[in-house]
Amino acid sequence: MKKISTEAAQQSGKISEQKLTVGLDVGDRSSWYCVLDEAGTIVLEQKLGTTPKAMKEVFGSMPRSRIALETGMHSPWVSRLLSKLGHEVIVAHARKVRLIGESRKKDDRLDAQTLARLARIDPQLLSPVKHRSAKAQADLTVIRARAGLVRARTALVNTARGLAKSYGERLRGCNVRNMNPEKAQELSPELRSALEPLLAGIESLSERIRECNEGIERLARESYPQVAQLKQVKGVGTLIALTLLLTLEDAHRLGKSRDVGCYLGLQPGRRNSGQSEPQMHISKEGDPYLRTLLVQGAHHILGPFGADSDLRRWGLKLAERGGKSGKKRAIVAVARKLAVLLHHLWVSGEVYEPLRNSKQRAMPAAA
Of 262, 154, 142, 261, which Cα lies nearest the Cα of 202? 154
Q: How far apart are CA 204 and CA 206, in angstroms?
A: 5
**To 10 degrees, what angle do helices 288-302 and 326-348 make?**
110
pLDDT at res. 269 = 67
pLDDT at res. 361 = 74
* 32: phi then psi, degrees, rounded to nearest 5: -125, 135
> Would you tell me which CATH number, out of the four given (3.90.1170.50, 3.40.50.1820, 3.30.420.40, 3.40.50.300), belongs to the domain 6-129?
3.30.420.40
Q: What is the C-alpha radius of gyration for the chain, rounded to an integer number of angstroms?
A: 26
Provide the residue ranges of all domains of the chain, joining segments of one domain with +.
6-129, 134-223, 228-357
pLDDT digit string, tens, across residues 321-350: 877 788 999 999 999 999 999 999 999 999
CB atoms within 10 A of CB 286: 19
pLDDT (average), residues 179-188:
81
Of 352, 312, 348, 349, which Cα lies nearest the Cα of 333? 312
The total number of residues shown for the chain amounts to 367
Amino acid at 235: G
Neighbour-count burial of 22, counting CB atoms closer than 10 A to its CB (0-12 exposed, 13-18 middle, 19+ buried): buried
Task: Give, in order, the Cα–Cα distances in Å from 36 to each of 5, 33, 120, 231.
Answer: 18, 10, 8, 50
Residue 360 has pLDDT above 70, yes or no: yes
CB atoms within 10 A of CB 185: 8
